[in-house]
Amino acid sequence: MKKVKITAKELRAIGFPESPVIPVAMSVVDKFYKFSKKEDVIELLKNVLAQPADYKNDPMLESIALKLLPKEAAHATGIALRESGVPVSIFGPDYIEAGALHQIHMAAKLPISVKAALMPDAHHGYGLPIGGVLATKNAVIPYGVGVDIGCRMCLSVFDMDPDLLKSRTSFFSREIHEATLFGSGAQFKTAEEHEIMDRDEFHSTPLLRSLHGKAWKQLGSSGSGNHFVEFGVVEISEKDEVLGIEPGKYIGLLSHSGSRGLGANIANHYTKLAIEKRKLPNDAKNLAWLDLNEAEGQEYWLAMNLAGDYASACHHIIHRKIARQLGRTPIKMVENHHNFAWKEMLDGEEVIVHRKGATPAGKNVLGIIPGSMSANGFIVKGRGTADAIHSAAHGAGRKLSRSAAISSITHKAMRDALDKAGVTLLGGGLDEAPFAYKDIHAVMAEQTELVDVVGSFAPKIVKMCGDGPKQLRKRNASDGE
């Protein structure tokens, strides 16, 4: 049976007001009525619209009714943390700073928490630490996802001789330059065409509608911070049936970036709402959550998924442009989010799994774990380890803060490290120097029970923003966690 889908346009056509009730209604239909007859669903929604008070205790329609009823003053009450938290599994504790350990144990004490884990690349963040994984019951924490919603990795593997990266360095460098933009707030003069910008969700709330224009101009851009686009050598030692690539060396195109200003604005807007609704102790306030049964939670879930799809579209545009210039179709594309929340089954119940700077590593799920601008990254296959909540590290993890890196690393030292690795750097500041990161091999050694390595990626031509000192003067949310 074809699933029923109600659009914002159809809801407005039957009289629904231009307000947050629209995404709530869309979510309710998708959750409870997707296999009903569309005409019956429309009639039911008309009834709720006409008499919302009759449905305020309805288990399925309550959230719509409450959005349609006159607002009552909200009185948030203080919420206490549990005295002892839910189980926390820590991988590579010797490599993890105390601040990150404190944050994950704090998250484990939330009344909504079910299970937690910390990856070996973890370091301190906002709310959840970077490298933190948290399963919750029917609730989503905006800062548990992070500011850069849907930040992700994308790798295209081309059946081309890697020696071309040496003999035609200028050509490959130019293709990266022309395919994307770097820099905080960077926008294209001419908007890229992609079906993501036609998504009905962009017209479902005033917030998303206000972000549509800028999101379109940033579509396909890469931002700053630790985001990059790079060419390198993919090496496959033996064929893995899931990856499906024959042994050998190939040219790889690897990108890392997220949802730009779209995700940052969504994250900040809903974090503020969550903090207003859930009065947690001050040192835990960034862990404030939204219940998925309430309107704000449904709005955030819709917006978060849109931002994740937008981030994916940005990568696909970059890879499509470059593939066209290479005159090749990739033989394989591997990609994964690492700042997102998913509905998953855990110990027989549905939970919301937040992975903030963590790679999904369910059984046989492919992913990419990068190193640094000079260190190898790895193509991995998840082992589905329950203690890790089916997750793994998302990179080497920072060893030095940006300010510490800039003050302690010299340009000569960075150049020497890049020369030794045979890397051409097109842009990237001292804040992203190889020495600012943990040893990726040590991190990988701490998660052999989480993933199997099925290939490697050695960076050779690296493009980053390189505006580190400016970032330190004013933190740019769109390039945050």
**Minimal CA–CA distance to 194: which of 40, 13, 316?**
316
This prediction has a pTM of: 0.86
d(CA 426, CA 373): 11
Please say if the pLDDT value at position 20 is more than 70. Answer: yes
d(CA 183, CA 202): 25
Residue range 184-239, pLDDT digits in tens: 888 998 888 899 999 999 999 999 999 999 999 999 999 899 999 999 999 999 99
Per the structure block, which two tokens stand in for 31?
């959750």
Q: How large is the angle between the packed helices 38-50 and 21-32, nearest 10 degrees?
A: 140
- Distance from the first to the final alpha carbon of the chain: 40
Angstrom CA distances, 179 to 256, 257, 297, 400, stand at 14, 14, 36, 31
Please name the residue that has the structure tokens 């859930």: 278
- Lowest-confidence segment of 68-82, 249-263, 394-408 by average pLDDT: 68-82
Please say if the pLDDT value at position 75 is more than 80. Answer: no
pLDDT of res. 150: 97
Angle (CA) 314-7-198 rounded to 5° is 25
User: Can you say whether the dihedral through the CA atoms of 384, 387, 391, 394 is positive or negative?
Assistant: negative
φ, ψ dihedrals at 71, nearest 5°: -70, 140
pLDDT of res. 126: 87
Please say if the pLDDT value at position 70 is more than 80. Answer: no
Residue, of 274 and 223, whose pLDDT is higher: 274
**Minimal CA–CA distance to 303: which of 200, 225, 221?**
200
Please enumerate in sequence order all residues whose Cβ is within 8 A of that of 437, keeping only pairs 6 or more positions apart, or say none.
Answer: 371, 372, 375, 395, 396, 397, 398, 399
pLDDT of res. 315: 98
Please say if the pLDDT value at position 242 is more than 60. Answer: yes
pLDDT of res. 181: 94
* DSSP letters for 185-244: T---SSPPP-GGGG-GGGGTSHHHHHHHHHHHHHTT--BSTT-EEEEEEEEESS--TTT-
Compute the average pLDDT of residues 286-312.
Answer: 97
Q: Say how far residue 135 (Cα) sits from the centre of its chain.
A: 16
Compute the average pLDDT of residues 144-168.
Answer: 97
Residue range 388-443, pLDDT digits in tens: 999 999 999 998 888 889 999 999 999 999 999 999 999 889 999 999 999 999 99
Angstrom CA distances, 262 to 114, 211, 228, stand at 30, 6, 19
SS3 430: helix
Per the structure block, which two tokens stand in for 304?
């978060």
Please say if the pLDDT value at position 251 is more than 60. Answer: yes
d(CA 142, CA 294): 14
Residue 468 banded pLDDT, cuts 50, 70, 90: low
pLDDT of res. 476: 44
Could you tell me if 318 and 180 are in contact, meaning their C-beta atoms sit under 8 angstroms apart? yes
pLDDT of res. 123: 92
Please say if the pLDDT value at position 477 is more than 50. Answer: no
pLDDT of res. 77: 54
b/e per residue, 146-171, with b = 16+ CB within 10 A?
A: bbbbbbbbbbbbbebebeebeeeeee
pLDDT of res. 471: 41
Average pLDDT of the chain, as a whole number = 92
Please name the residue that has the structure tokens 């700053």: 224
d(CA 386, CA 347): 9
Residue 478 banded pLDDT, cuts 50, 70, 90: very low
Please say if the pLDDT value at position 292 is more than 80. Answer: yes
d(CA 10, CA 12): 5
d(CA 406, CA 20): 44
Residue 104 banded pLDDT, cuts 50, 70, 90: very high
Residue 447 banded pLDDT, cuts 50, 70, 90: very high
Compute the average pLDDT of residues 49-75.
Answer: 80
Q: Say how far residue 340 (Cα) sits from the centre of its chain.
A: 4
d(CA 96, CA 437): 12
Could you tell me if 195 and 17 are in contact, meaning their C-beta atoms sit under 8 angstroms apart? no
Compute the average pLDDT of residues 312-328.
Answer: 97
**Minimal CA–CA distance to 340: which of 324, 360, 367, 316?**
360
- Lowest-confidence segment of 120-124, 137-141, 452-456, 457-461 by average pLDDT: 120-124
Q: What residues are labeled active site? A: 394
pLDDT of res. 475: 43
Please say if the pLDDT value at position 474 is more than 70. Answer: no
Strands 377-382 and 366-369: antiparallel
Please say if the pLDDT value at position 470 is more than 70. Answer: no
Residue 81 banded pLDDT, cuts 50, 70, 90: very high
pLDDT of res. 71: 62
Please say if the pLDDT value at position 76 is more than 60. Answer: no
Strands 248-257 and 349-356: unpaired
Compute the average pLDDT of residues 265-277.
Answer: 96
- Lowest-confidence segment of 63-72, 326-335, 355-364 by average pLDDT: 63-72
Q: How many CB atoms lie within 10 A of CB 422?
A: 13
